[in-house]
Amino acid sequence: MKWIILDLEATCWKDRRKKPNEIIEIGALCVDNTREVLEEYQTFVQPQVHPVLSDFCTELTSITQEMVANAPPYPDAHRAFTSWIRGFEDEYVLCSWGFYDRKQLASDCTLHGLDTEWLNRHISLKHQYPRIAGTDRKQGIKAVLKQEQLPMEGTHHRGIDDARNINKVFLKYFGQWRLDF
């Protein structure tokens, strides 16, 4: 079994207008059953519907217009990411901190007419964490890292850095995550 710990960043606006969000970064790690990180994956993605990032989005994520301007559009990024996952030639589980990442991947796949079946093997670590850690509420990864006395590294709201930080909690409770899909 391979565990794909992933985090996405997407277009966003301060006033939360009803514009469709689009993925602008995919960050992921592949972890095996010995708890070893086999590889990391990171790519920026060029948004197509609203190609210009808002100032709010850049401030929140530190992702600039230049970073996404020459990045692949989602269909190409999707092909590369799913090929990377299939390259491990094993069953996999997508693991993210909440259901947002799965929903956003499904939304971008639908927008571009791509299959979403590959998303069926997904679990939300955020929703399982309270049961495992004996807490009574769901929290963001930053708060959980502090609670677990694990260092937050990198830039918060950057896909690859958040995936690395999520992986710290995943590994701490390895073997306790339920495959509830």
Please check whether residue 13 is in contact with residue 49, taking contact to mean a CB–CB distance below 8 angstroms. Answer: no
Confidence of residue 20 (pLDDT cuts 50, 70, 90): confident
Please check whether residue 49 is in contact with residue 20, taking contact to mean a CB–CB distance below 8 angstroms. Answer: yes
Q: What pLDDT digit, counting tens, does each position of 83-138 carry?
A: 999 999 999 999 999 999 999 999 999 999 999 999 999 999 999 999 999 998 89
Residue 135 CA to residue 116 CA, distance in Å, equals 33
Q: Where are the domains of the chain?
A: 2-172
Confidence of residue 15 (pLDDT cuts 50, 70, 90): confident
State yes or no: pLDDT of 4 exceeds 80.
Answer: yes
Could you tell me the end-to-end alpha-carbon distance of the chain, in angstroms, rounded to an integer? 15
Three-class secondary structure assignment of 110-155: HHCCCCCHHHCCEEEHHHHHHHHHCCCCCCCHHHHHHHCCCCCCCC
Report pTM: 0.96
Average pLDDT over residues 42-47: 98
What is the topology classification, in CATH, of domain 2-172? Nucleotidyltransferase; domain 5 (3.30.420)
Position 12 scores a pLDDT of 95
Q: Find the angle CA(126)-CA(108)-CA(169) to the nearest 5 degrees.
A: 20
Position 73 scores a pLDDT of 98
